[in-house]
Structures are given as structure tokens and as C-alpha cells.
């Protein structure tokens, strides 16, 4: 298929005070320098692989800034003694000087080296990439990332993964950039300036988005990650605007920011300029007979507008319980509400059936937002907050509302699949009909979660949700005992089997014929640059069980 084209939590006063107190500890390494004005300004990258081709990316600005031809070379060795393929593309202002070249006729499952050469002899750094495997396959390792806000923490997760030699592929589940103004409430003082993040205001125009990508891609850890591994990338909402849907976004004001469609088009164009991806918003990737990865699009093509609980209760305020039940059984249950749209739903159902019928062992759905059922715990207490702090009354009021909603089986977030239960049921029906060994990968929440997904009382798959690279999650408002918070969520959410709401990092999937093991790696991010780990948590699902066990 080749068609083109959680609401953030308010930081508390105590966290602002803590950030101010620790601001002097912010480490500003000397290697964070501005990108060069000309030449190969942002190293190299590769992505969107298949068995015989992969997209190679660089950015080249010639001395005169006029359009310049750039040649790509692919070799079997790092010294380029055996060049296997070469091709050229034009680097110019129309694409922000970004270059995409896609070699074809490569061999499946092989590592390659590549570089770019300008007309004047300039050479880019050498990149390393690989094609997808074909035929029988015993194992494959995938690193998974999401939610990298450059103003709230360092990209230590990228740096840690870039040093590894046991990864075959990267998947980025979205929020690769943040469109927000640099003075977000969770921003570390001085970090945006130290990293050269631009522009200072919220991104709206094409030039704004281009500048934001350029400043993010100047990060040395992100450059090294792209240089060493191929990536499958997708957008979530922050690549355009927060909490977006097909016709708008919660954080877009047409009166002051212009037409939503124009802003969406600018964000999507900059995404495709700056990332090594072809212009198909959803597609599949086959890992031999081991797994099929389905990359979904859940934001801009067809998603129905998020339901507004606040508006509903304002209009139905006489009897809370009656209003909540009416909402649950009425607007929330509407069969017409969609995440994917009819065409993408049919494509996914067909793909799941084709994958299982051909004997592929795992069906991996890579997408943006949490699919498992989430309910707000009712036992939030002082243990959720740091000792000696006074919880923000607004935070407590919102949690209390969420707990009351849970009493009538209502979720607290309308932006996740919880807000689209009919669409989720259709996806689960397709997985069950095809007898898929379904593994869902999710981002967006900034926290780590593991779910056993159920449909009509029966297991249908598992879900592994990755914590943010640097974006703060529930710990923005609940900075107390993480174990107590996790236990509360486990008690309130029957599908949930484990969570961590306090740490940053990334996931690695070890996909094997008889099992799939996920490890969450936790790294510091907020105030220091480091590749040390704070811990690792592992969980496993065995083929055919659709149940999670400790690994």
C-alpha cells in the first residue's frame, strides 16, 4: 500500500522549583556546536528498508547554495574497495538541501556501507546500513524509540543504542521532534539554548519545521544512531501539532496560526525532507519467515476528532453517573469513529491474513498510541507525591475525575485507542480471524507499559509501550514512589501486567521463532549526558500463548 500522504500533563510548582534548583547542574558538553553552514551539514542516515533496497539520506549545502549534484556510493566494505552501486540526486533549496537516494538490487539481509560525494570532491561521513532478510530466519533485534523532546532532556537513549553492535533495525514510533515553543513548562532552563534548538516559538510554517528538524538533527547522539543503523520512522502528533486528527488539532488555532491543512502539509513535508522514508504513510516490512511489521498511520489520514469529556459533562451536569454512562454507551461506542479509516483497516486485515497464511511467526503492529485499556486508579494518595510536597489541587481534581470515570468503565484519555473502542474491536477482530501472534508496539505516553490485550474475554495479543527518550511522563505530576504508582495502575487496569512511570530510555525486541523478548533500558536524561543504564526490565511472550511472562 503506497498512499501519499495524550494530552500533556501540566508540570507542578514543586517540579518547577526543583528544576530551577538543579539548573546549575546542567552539563553542557563542548561537542554541542552549531551545524556547519555548508558541506554535509548533518552527517548521513538510512531507512525504510526492504529486501533489495533502502533509502539513503544526507544534507548538502554547496558553497554558493545553488543546487548541487551529490553522488551516493554503496560498498560491501568500509574502505569502499568494492563499490556495488552508485547513483546521484540534486541537493537544493526546494528540499531544504536534503537528499534521498534509494539503491535497488541489493542482496537481502546484508550489511552495507555508504557515503556521499559532492561535485567538488567533498565526502560525507561513512554510514552503515542493512537490507531486510528473506527466507528462513532464526532471530532479529529491533531497537524502539519514541518521544524525544529536546528541551526536557538529553538524547542519552540514542547515544546508548548507537554504541551497540547487536541491533538490526531501529523503529521510531513518533514525536521525533516537538513543535512546541521552547519555554514549555517541563523545559530544563538553558537546555534549548545550549543545544541550539530553533525556532524559539511554536513551529507553524514550513521554514519553522525545517529549522526545528535541523536543530534536532544537529545532536551528535542522534547523528551517530542514524549513521550506524537503518530506521523505520513514523509521525505521531508533535511532528505537526499536539493531539491532531484528520481535520484539526487541539493545539491549533486557525485565527492566529492559519489553516490547519497548511500547517499539517508543512509538518509532513519537513518530515519527509529530513527523514529517510518514502512517502507512504503506512506499509509493511517482512522479516523473512520470522515476522511481519505493519507500520500504521493513526493521526492525519482518517482519525476522528477526539471526544471532549469536559464539554460533555458541561452539557450534562445534573447527574454525573447517568451522564458518564450515556457518554460510554453513546458517543464513545459510535461504530463510525475511526483511527485508521476504512481503507487502512482493510489493508491491515488483509496483511495479517497473508502473513499468517504464509507461515510467518509473528505479526508486529508498530503504531503511535497505547492500545490497552487504561483506567485511572482510585487509590492515589500521598505516596504518589514526593515527601514534603503539597500536591497541586488541579492535579488532584483531575485524578479524582479520572477515578470516578473508571467506576463506570470509562478511560481518562480520549486520545489513545481507549477513545476509539469500536475501531480497536475491528482491529482485534482482524487479528483473531487471521490467528495472528499479535505484538503491538506503542509510544506517545512517555512511560513504559506491558499489556495482555483481550477482546470479548479472550486473549488477542500483547502490547509493549516504550518510555520516552527524553519527554517526561506521569512523573511530571506524580513524582512520588514509582512502585506505589505502578501498583495502583496494576490494580486498576486488568490488562496491564507491568509499568514504569518514572524513567526514560528505549526498548529492544529480541524476536525469535518461539518467543519474543522485550527489554526496557532506562538511562538518565534530565540533567546529565551519560550512556550508563539505571536498570533493565525484561518480559517475554511465547509464540501461541498471547501471554506475558518474566524473562
Do residue 97 and residue 246 come from a single domain?
no
Say how far residue 33 (Cα) sits from the centre of its chain: 26
Nearest to 46 by CA among 173, 119, 132, 135: 132
- HEC profile for 460-520? EEEEEECCCCCCCCHHHCCCCCHHHHHHHHHHHCCCEEEEECCCEEEEEEEEECCEEEEEE
Q: pLDDT class for 34, splitting at 50, 70, 90? A: confident
Q: Which of 62, 116, 69, 64 is nearest to 90 (CA)?
A: 69
Q: Is residue 1 part of a domain?
A: no
| SS3 letters across 5-65 | CCCCCCCCHHHHHHHHHHHHHCCCCCCCCCCCCCEEEEEEEEECCCCCCCEEEEEEECCCC
Whether residues 138 and 111 share a domain: the answer is no
Q: Are 444 and 368 in contact (CB under 8 A)?
A: yes
State yes or no: pLDDT of 17 exceeds 60: no
Q: What is the pLDDT of residues 121-143, one digit of tens each?
A: 999 999 999 999 999 999 999 99
Give the total number of structural domains in the chain: 2
Longest dimension (CA), the chain: 77
Please write the tens of the pLDDT for every residue from 322-363. Answer: 999 999 999 999 999 999 999 999 999 999 999 999 999 999
Distance separating alpha carbons of residues 3 and 279, to the nearest angstrom: 8
Residue 15, pLDDT > 80, answer: no
Residues 279 and 416 in one domain: yes
Burial class (CB in 10 A: 0-12, 13-18, 19+), 91: buried
Q: Which residue has the cell 551539514?
A: 41
Say yes or no: 265 and 386 in one domain.
yes
Note whether residue 7 is domain-resident.
Answer: no
Residue 475 confidence (pLDDT) above 50: yes
Mean pLDDT of the residues in the chain: 93
Q: Rounded distance, CA 372 to CA 541, Å?
A: 16
Q: Which of 504, 500, 502, 499 minimizes the C-alpha distance to 531?
A: 504
Within this chain, do residues 233 and 282 fall inside the same structural domain, yes or no?
yes
The sign of the CA dihedral 497, 171, 421, 254 is positive
Helices (H), 248-363: 254-257, 260-274, 309-315, 320-329, 342-357
Write the DSSP symbol of residue 416.
S
126 and 273 share a domain?
no
Phi, psi for residue 343 in degrees, rounded to 5: -65, -45
With a cut of 90, say whether residue 264 has pLDDT above it: yes
What pLDDT does 115 receive? 98
- What is the average per-residue pLDDT within 301-318? 92
What proportion of the chain, given as a percentage, has pLDDT over 70?
94
CA atoms within 13 A on the CB side of 141: 10
How high is the pLDDT of residue 483?
92
DSSP string, 344-370: HHHHHHHHHHHHHHTT-SEEEEE-SS-
pTM over 0.85: yes
Confidence grade of residue 32 (pLDDT, cut at 50, 70, 90): low
DSSP-assigned beta bridge partners for residue 60: 40
Q: Is residue 516 a contact partner of residue 439, using CB atoms and an 8 Å limit?
A: yes
Supply the pLDDT for residue 8.
Answer: 28
The CA-based angle 32-501-324, given to 5 degrees, is 125
One domain for residues 227 and 108: no
Does residue 410 sit within a domain? yes
Closest CA to 157 of 550, 538, 533, 536: 533
Element (H, E) at 87: strand 83-91
Query: Quick one: 484 and 363 in the same domain?
Result: yes
Residue 65 confidence (pLDDT): 93
Give the pLDDT confidence score for residue 391 in this predicted structure.
Answer: 82
Kindly tell me if the per-residue pLDDT of 11 is higher than 60.
Answer: no
Per-residue model confidence (pLDDT) at position 383: 81
Is 518 within 8 Å of 540 (Cβ atoms)? yes
User: Is 8 inside a domain boundary?
Assistant: no
2 lies in some domain: no
pLDDT per residue over 382-411, tens digit each?
788 888 888 888 888 888 999 999 999 999
User: Is residue 290 domain-shared with residue 398, that is, in the same domain?
Assistant: yes
Question: Would 387 be classed as within a structural domain?
Answer: yes
pLDDT of residue 18: 34
Domain end among 76, 98, 132:
132
| Cβ contact 273:96 at 8 Å | yes
Q: What is the pLDDT of residue 25?
A: 41
Which band of pLDDT confidence, cut at 50, 70 and 90, is reported for residue 24? very low
Last residue of a domain, one of 132, 158, 174: 132
Can you give the pLDDT at residue 393? 86
Give the pLDDT score at 547: 98
Sign of the dihedral through C-alpha 50, 302, 145, 537 = negative
The answer to whether residue 4 sits within a structural domain is no
Q: What CATH code is carried by the domain that includes residue 67? A: 2.60.40.380
Provide the pLDDT for residue 86: 98
Confidence (pLDDT) at 380: 81
Q: Would you say residue 500 has pLDDT above 70?
A: yes
Residues 250 and 113 in one domain: no
Its domain, for residue 105, covers 36-132
Which residue is associated with the grid cell 500504521? 296
6 within some domain: no
Do 421 and 510 share a structural domain?
Answer: yes
- Considering the domain architecture, whether residues 311 and 449 belong to the same structural domain is answered as yes
Residue 45: which of 192, 290, 224, 269 has the closest Cα? 224
Three-state DSSP class for residue 334: coil
pLDDT at 375: 97
Please identify, among 65, 97, 132, the residue that sits at the C-terminal boundary of a domain.
132
Residues whose CB is less than 8 angstroms from the CB of residue 510 and which lie 6 or more positions away in sequence, other chains included: 139, 141, 516, 517, 518, 519
Which pairs count as long-range contacts for 37-42, CB under 8 Å and 24+ apart, including other chains? Answer: 37/61, 38/62, 38/63, 38/65, 39/118, 39/122, 40/116, 40/118, 40/122, 40/123, 40/124, 40/125, 41/97, 41/214, 42/214, 42/217, 42/218, 42/223
CATH code where residue 240 lies: 3.60.21.70
* pLDDT over 70 at 22, yes or no: no
Averaged pLDDT for residues 272-285:
97
Amino acid at each position: 500500500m503506497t498512499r501519499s500522504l495524550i494530552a500533556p500533563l501540566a508540570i507542578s510548582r514543586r517540579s518547577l522549583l526543583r528544576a530551577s534548583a538543579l539548573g546549575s547542574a546542567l552539563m553542557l558538553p563542548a561537542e554541542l556546536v552549531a551545524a556547519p553552514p555548508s558541506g554535509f551539514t548533518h552527517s548521513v542516515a538510512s531507512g525504510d528498508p526492504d529486501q533489495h533496497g533502502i533509502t539513503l539520506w544526507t544534507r548538502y549545502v554547496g558553497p554558493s547554495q545553488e543546487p548541487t549534484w551529490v553522488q551516493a556510493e554503496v560498498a560491501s566494505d568500509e574502505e569502499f574497495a568494492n563499490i556495488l552501486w552508485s547513483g546521484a540526486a540534486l541537493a537544493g533549496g526546494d528540499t531544504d538541501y536534503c537528499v534521498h537516494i534509494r539503491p535497488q538490487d541489493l542482496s537481502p539481509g546484508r550489511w552495507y556501507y555508504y557515503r556521499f560525494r559532492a561535485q567538488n570532491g567533498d565526502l560525507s561521513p561513512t554510514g552503515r546500513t542493512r537490507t531486510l532478510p528473506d527466507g528462513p530466519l532464526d532471530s532479529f533485534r529491533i531497537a524502539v524509540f519514541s518521544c524525544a523532546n529536546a528541551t526536557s532532556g538529553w538524547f542519552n537513549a540514542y547515544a546508548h543504542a548507537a554504541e551497540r553492535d547487536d541491533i538490526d533495525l531501529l523503529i521510531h514510533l513518533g514525536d521525533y521532534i516537538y513543535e512546541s515553543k521552547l519555554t514549555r513548562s517541563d523545559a530544563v532552563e538553558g537546555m534549548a539554548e545550549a543545544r541550539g534548538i530553533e525556532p524559539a516559538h511554536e513551529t507553524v510554517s514550513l521554514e519553522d519545521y525545517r529549522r526545528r528538524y535541523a536543530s534536532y538533527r544537529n545532536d551528535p547522539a542522534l547523528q551517530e544512531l542514524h549513521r550506524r543503523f537503518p530506521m523505520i520512522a513514523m509521525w505521531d502528533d508533535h511532528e505537526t501539532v499536539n493531539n491532531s486528527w484528520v481535520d484539526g488539532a487541539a493545539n491549533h488555532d486557525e485565527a492566529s496560526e492559519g489553516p490547519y491543512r497548511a500547517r499539517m502539509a508543512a509538518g509532513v513535508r519537513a518530515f519527509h525532507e529530513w527523514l529517510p522514508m518514502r512517502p507512504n504513510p503506512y506499509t509493511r516490512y517482512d522479516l523473512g519467515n520470522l515476522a511481519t511489521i505493519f507500520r500504521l498511520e493513526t493521526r492525519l489520514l482518517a482519525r476522528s476528532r477526539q471526544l471532549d469529556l469536559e464539554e460533555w459533562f458541561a452539557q450534562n451536569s445534573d447527574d454525573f453517573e447517568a451522564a458518564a454512562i450515556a457518554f460510554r454507551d453513546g458517543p464513545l461506542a459510535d461504530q463510525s469513529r475511526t483511527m485508521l479509516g476504512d481503507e487502512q483497516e482493510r489493508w491491515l486485515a488483509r496483511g495479517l491474513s497473508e502473513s499468517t497464511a504464509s507461515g510467518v511467526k509473528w505479526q508486529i503492529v508498530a503504531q503511535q498510541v497505547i492500545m490497552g485499556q487504561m483506567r485511572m486508579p482510585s487509590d492515589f494518595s500521598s505516596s504518589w507525591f514526593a515527601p514534603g510536597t503539597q500536591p497541586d489541587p488541579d492535579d488532584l481534581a483531575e485524578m479524582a475525575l479520572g477515578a470516578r470515570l473508571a467506576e463506570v468503565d470509562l478511560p481518562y484519555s480520549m486520545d489513545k485507542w481507549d477513545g476509539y473502542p469500536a475501531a480497536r474491536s475491528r482491529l482485534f477482530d482482524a487479528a483473531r480471524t487471521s490467528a495472528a501472534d499479535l505484538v503491538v508496539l506503542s509510544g506517545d505516553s512517555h512511560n513504559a507499559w506491558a499489556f495482555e490485550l483481550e477482546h470479548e474475554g479472550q486473549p488477542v495479543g500483547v502490547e509493549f509501550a516504550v518510555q520516552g527518550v527524553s519527554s517526561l511522563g506521569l512523573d511530571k505530576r506524580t513524582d512520588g514512589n514509582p512502585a506505589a504508582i505502578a501498583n495502583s495502575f496494576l490494580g486498576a487496569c486488568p490488562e496491564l501486567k507491568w509499568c514504569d512511570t518514572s524513567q526514560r530510555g528505549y526498548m529492544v525486541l529480541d524476536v525469535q521463532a518461539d518467543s519474543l523478548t522485550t527489554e526496557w533500558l532506562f538511562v538518565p536524561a534530565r540533567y546529565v549526558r551519560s550512556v550508563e543504564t539505571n536498570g533493565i526490565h525484561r518480559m517475554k511472550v511465547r509464540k501461541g500463548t498471547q501471554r506475558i511472562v518474566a524473562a
